[in-house]
A and B are shown apart, each in its own frame.
Chain A
Amino acid sequence: MVKVPPTAGHLALLRTAVGGFAARDHFTLDQVDDLRMAVEESAVQLLRHATGDFITLEVKATEPGVEVRVHAEVAGSEPVIDESSFSWTILRALADDLRIEMQQGHATIVLTKHRINVTSGPHR
């Protein structure tokens, strides 16, 4: 878990952390980049609503791939990203699965990315 202050300058750390994890965890370079962008976009959105001292990133290896949770304390319980927003569109394109968990002052953006089957050889 990586915890950084909720300022724009610290978001690069989250980006780097998730990238380093995914690259070591057999994701393709494209996917590594998708994850980095997705985490950055998530964190930027949380930043707008953050009321606490930290934005946290949690990365968990799962069976199909990886689950990434970006969390912040927020005011209110309105979803931090509107489903009709551009931000949502971006995240949908970058992640295989996307949801937002809102509960009593806590917002968590949960992204999952499936590892592609890399055991298959060249297909040409």
Chain B
Amino acid sequence: MSTYNREDTKLLFAELQRTGDQTYREELARLHLPLVEYLAKRFKDRGEPLDDLVQVGSVGLLKAIDRFDLDRGVEFSTYATPTIVGELKRYFRDKGWAVRVPRRLQELSLRLNKIIAQLTQDLGRSPTVSEIAKMAEVTEEEVLEALESGQAYSTTSLDAPSGDDDDAPLRVDRIGQEDFRLENLEYFASLAPLIEQLPERERTILYLRFFKGMTQSKIAEHVGISQMHVSRLLTRILEFLREGMEGDAEY
């Protein structure tokens, strides 16, 4: 794990602001990943895989990096914390966590998460409700109930390729090499400025789903997050683009 160093952070920001070189942005993200992990752990009792929470928090981190201004004279970690926590809170809010899910359903959901991941791997595609029910030895209605409680669409996060070594790069970095071409989308002239506002991972997901025709499960595997998370991000991206076409929107 990189040792956190305030001077390094300042230098990196100075270089990033001077050159605009994205390598510095990535380095800053890597340097502050432990902060994201620390904050994500505070939400870990709510039934979501920690990996997903770290991914969500990383989005907040990248936003904070992009908005941080050295001249403000505050420490970056102080500045970034509310943004990261805000992103995590928003994630739970979007999921409708205000609704209490009965414990029985929560437990079933967690079990289904694993079964769905297993089936996705075995079948090479996303499973159907009846396949899940069969393997879980519960009724289809019980599966539907658990799915509708909004927790169990998750497929690959538990078995996602390891990225948890302390010195492994952010998964967000890995998809940076994806052959994503903004030109493919520039045809939709009014959308281009909106798409530019999306974080790289979101752009990649958008591209893979709608221009490459990749399924959510495949994208999940590719990007290293759960299918449920891909689904949620896609919904949010489309919402953002729709709002953006109408007027003002902020991703």
Contact = CB atoms under 8 A, between A and B. Distances in A.
Given A23-B147, A122-B123, A124-B124, A30 B215 contact: yes
Interface stretch (A51-59, A83-91, A98-106): A83-91
Nearest to B209: A93
B106 interface: no
B126 A30 contact: yes
Nearest to B212: A93
Interface string B201-242: 000000001110101110000000001000100110010011
Contacts of B147: 23, 29
A67 interface: no
Interface stretch (B67-75, B86-94, B127-135, B160-168): B127-135
Contact of B140 (A24, A34, A90, A116): A24
Contacts of B131: 118
B213 A93 contact: yes
Given A20-B144, A93-B213, A28 B126 contact: yes
Contacts of B191: 86
B64 interface: no
Nearest to A28: B126
Interface string A37-56: 10011001000000000000
A118 B128 contact: yes
A28 B125 contact: yes
A123 B124 contact: yes
A110 B188 CA distance: 23
Contacts of B123: 122-123
Nearest to A41: B238
Q: Secondary structure of the B side of the interface? A: helix
A90 B129 CA distance: 25
Q: Secondary structure of the A side of the interface? A: helix
A86 B195 CA distance: 12
Nearest to A123: B124
B139 to A, nearest CB: 12
Contacts of A122: 122-124
Nearest to B121: A124
Contacts of B216: 30, 33-34
Contacts of B209: 93
Contacts of B122: 122, 124
Interface string A16-40: 0000100110111111011001001
A111 to B, nearest CB: 15
Nearest to A89: B210
A30 B144 CA distance: 14
A30 B241 contact: no
B13 interface: no
Contacts of A30: 125-126, 215-217, 227
Nearest to B185: A86
Given A24-B140, A44-B242, A122-B123, A29 B235 contact: no
Interface of B: 116, 122-131, 140, 144, 147-148, 153, 155, 187-188, 191, 209-211, 213, 215-217, 227, 231, 234-235, 238, 241-242
Interface of A: 20, 23-24, 26-31, 33-34, 37, 40-41, 44, 84-86, 89-90, 93, 116, 118, 122-124
Give the top 3 A-B pairs by smallest Cβ distance, nearest first.
Answer: A30-B126, A28-B126, A122-B122
Given A29-B129, A30-B217, A93-B213, 9 more contacts: A24-B129, A27-B128, A28-B125, A29-B116, A34-B216, A84-B187, A116-B125, A122-B123, A123-B124
